Amino acid sequence: MTKKINLVIVTGMSGAGKTVAIQSFEDLGYFTIDNMPPTLLPKFLELVTHTEDNDKVALVIDMRSRSFFSEISGILDNLENADDLDFKILFLDATDGELVSRYKETRRSHPLAADGRVLDGIKLERELLSPLKSMSQNVVDTSDLTPRQLRQTISEQFSSQDNQAGFRIEVVSFGFKYGLPLDADLVFDVRFLPNPHYVLELREKTGLDKEVYDYVMSFDESNDFYDKWFSLMTSILPGYQKEGKSVLTIAVGCTGGQHRSTAFAHRLAQDLEEEWSVNESHRDKDRRKETVNRS
């Protein structure tokens, strides 16, 4: 059974931001491939059409493929006539001066410059790409755009209701004795609060158990901390989303990651779920039990 494929071909001037663009499409839930040889495109789309995987595809096709101009015109004509394909071209451009500046910053050579000047390669590429630019449904000049602004532009032009949840919050608990989570953006320490470890009947339980959770939250300092913490989170999360961040990892730790941090991570995740897309995890919740069992 075939399905309709939403295909975006990302192309344009070398140095205009195609790498940022293809990463943006990946964040929007597209299946992405960089530097796709044009000759492989028809066969690739045939395979995608007959699978149950993602029906949104974004491909970068540019001057790195030496056969680009000898084949791309006929291939694009066939794509426009395909009934099972919603096909668009995104063309990224920038001024000659800005492109030269970017190449100087990265110290990379232009694919068409060979042993000549970067500006010569840019001018040749612009001339060769002119027909393709005129065919493009979306042309974006990135001369004055930061990478974040380019990602936002692409999101506005290509996101749909089912992939707009591009900002996700990961709330993770951990134990400081086992090290900080490597992917944490924000780290909070609740070791200053009363520790259930010293309550014998709670020691083997975790912060997800009601008895431990209630114990941790029974103290005034616990609730005072949480109220201020939650207020801080709700005030700064829109800023991270506006900045274009796709995943924000909030880590909260205690000594072993079993009691206090687990309880607070669970409470925060549940409260944030009312407005945000949240995933909750507890890295070290069962670490002590596993250690005891192995010994």
- CB of 125 closer than 8 Å to CB of 63: yes
Going by pLDDT thresholds of 50, 70 and 90, the confidence category of residue 287 is confident
Mean pLDDT of the chain, nearest integer: 85
The fraction of the chain above a pLDDT of 90, given in percent, is: 39
- Res. 163: pLDDT tops 50: no
CA distance 4 to 269: 37
Task: State the average pLDDT over residues 158-170.
Answer: 66
Of the candidates 97, 98, 80, 81, the residue with the CA atom closest to the CA atom of residue 89: 80
Going by pLDDT thresholds of 50, 70 and 90, the confidence category of residue 65 is low
CA distance 69 to 65: 9
Name the pTM for this structure: 0.57
Give how far Cα 189 sits from Cα of 36, 229, 239, 284, Å.
47, 11, 23, 15
Q: Name the burial class of residue 129, with classes exposed (0-12), middle (13-18) and buried (19+) by CB atoms within 10 angstroms of its CB.
A: buried
Q: Per residue in 1-10, pLDDT tens?
A: 456 788 898 9
Give how far Cα 292 sits from Cα of 2, 41, 200, 212, Å.
53, 55, 16, 20
* Tokens, residue 68: 């680009």
Q: Per residue in 133-148, pLDDT tens?
A: 888 888 899 988 888 8
CA distance 84 to 2: 8
CA distance 189 to 174: 10
Give how far Cα 213 sits from Cα of 5, 40, 107, 222, Å.
48, 56, 56, 11
* Tokens, residue 91: 């063309």
* Tokens, residue 198: 């010293």
- Residue 31's CB is within 10 A of a number of other CB atoms, namely 15
Question: Which position has the higher pLDDT, 227 or 12?
Answer: 227
* Tokens, residue 160: 């749909």
Q: Per residue in 101-145, pLDDT tens?
A: 888 776 677 776 666 677 888 888 888 888 888 888 888 999 888
CA distance 135 to 90: 10
Going by pLDDT thresholds of 50, 70 and 90, the confidence category of residue 208 is very high
Question: Which position has the higher pLDDT, 79 or 65?
Answer: 79
Residues 6+ apart with CB under 8 A from 165: 277
Identify any residues that bridge with 250 across adjacent strands, giving them in sequence order.
171, 186
**Going from the N-terminus, what domains does the chain have, and what CATH number goes with each?**
5-158 (3.40.50.300), 168-294 (no CATH)
CA distance 87 to 16: 21
